[in-house]
Amino acid sequence: MRFAPLLRTAALVTALALLPATTAGLAAVDARGAPEFGKLMAIYQRIQANYVDQVDNDKLLRGAIDGMLASLDPHSAYLDATAFESLRTQTEGSYGGLGLSVTMEDGVVKVIAPTRGTPADKAGVKAGDFITHIDGKLIYGGTLDEAVERMRGAPGTAIGLTIYRPGRDEPFDVKVTRAIIDLQPVSYTVDGKVGVITVSSFSANVGREVEKALAGIRKDVGGAPQGIVIDMRSNPGGLLDEAVAMSDLFLDSGQIVSQRGRFARDNESYMARNGDIARGVPIVVLIDAGSASASEIVAGALQDHHRALVMGQRSFGKGSVQTLLPLTRDSALKLTTARYYTPSGRSVQEGGIEPDIAVPQISDPDARLRAERAIRESDLRGHLINELDMDDRDLERDKIDDPRFQISPEELEKRGIKDFQLHYAIDTLRNTRLAQTMTRPAGAKPASQRR
């Protein structure tokens, strides 16, 4: 239910097999050269001696840890046994809940994206919504962990959420029935000769499942499809390895993504191997403000190599890598250790991926207002700064203006179009001349490196 970070799979596996840290080991920090540690101890002692109620030591220690990590960036965190297990199941198995990716700023729970087909998605919860109450009880001012814990529960039980949606005058209530969220992040459909592959998250084996989806599309259309839509809207990310594996499926050569950190050990470049499984078939990638992290790696790689036309809305802008650093057998630090860059050297941090054709979701009456108030990485308190110091207004400019965006919602309803962005992507691929002029075969050189 939490916002999925971009994680290194190897770090996750390593952290699951660690020996417990000893008390002596945890106490090995030498505070003699750091007066600040003396201040911290003095504050602790005064709280214990003078606070109106007796305070549990564990509560004070957890507060100090959470405060340190919160001062760094929104994605660094301490994972206790419960949070650690939750992260593992969200990347490797299934879990009980609503199917929401959420974050918190200034005590308010914000929806990054609902996972497709989950109870939250079916109930109409949308990216950009604010959850103010759970079962009628205000949740403002608590922690994200507390809010997530209250949203969890036995499958089949109902929970009431009070939603504030920007653009609406009044909050409204929705009832959501909890369910087991099985991680089936890849699905596909066929529209005529065009295949649509939907990737809702980057959990384990996504690359392999996308390959199977393309094989299914070929079977259904009786050969090579006319085009492929890769729909990663509201995909909050996940495992770095799977983003690389999926990108590699459609590229013959060249860099997929690079990461640069404070130390040389954190610098790495991921390269594509020979073999585009789509064999040059035109591709459109759909993204929106809920597309983050791993989905931005895939969109950026295919865009820079001119292998795909990117459509939709500017993505979330989470261009950082989190590594799990062990503390004990069942706890760890999730710490930001690097920024990642697209093949042309663009930092995704803050700015996100800008589509080649910005396509509004005009079939959704709330979409325009949500797009104007969309929550992105740059809106989160304490976010990492883009090293290029890019102006956010520049990132909103469309590259291509298309008159078909003037269709009214009423006209779309008459024509039976429920998802305008997807309809537009499929229609573009049917116009193969446009699709082929906007893309180049796999292996084509990306844009010049920017420094």
Hey, which residues are catalytic here? 293, 304, 318
Per the rule left: phi > 0, alpha: psi between -120 and 50, beta: everything else, 234 is left
CA distance 243 to 207: 7
Supply the DSSP symbol for 239. B
Residue 256 is encoded by which pair of tokens?
């997929």
Q: H or E stretch including 333?
A: strand 331-341
Residue type, 312: G
* Residue 112 neighbours by CB distance under 10 Å: 26
The pair phi, psi for residue 261, each rounded to 5°, is -125, -165
DSSP-assigned letters across all residues of 116-185: TTSHHHHTT--TT-EEEEETTEE-TTS-HHHHHHHH---TT-EEEEEEE-TT-SS-EEEEEE-EEEE---
Residue 287 is encoded by which pair of tokens?
């993204």
Query: Under a CB-based contact definition with an 8 Å cutoff, are residues 344 and 387 in contact?
Result: no
List, in sequence order, the alpha helices (H) in 250-380. 294-304, 367-372
Distance of CA 124 to the CA centre of its chain: 19
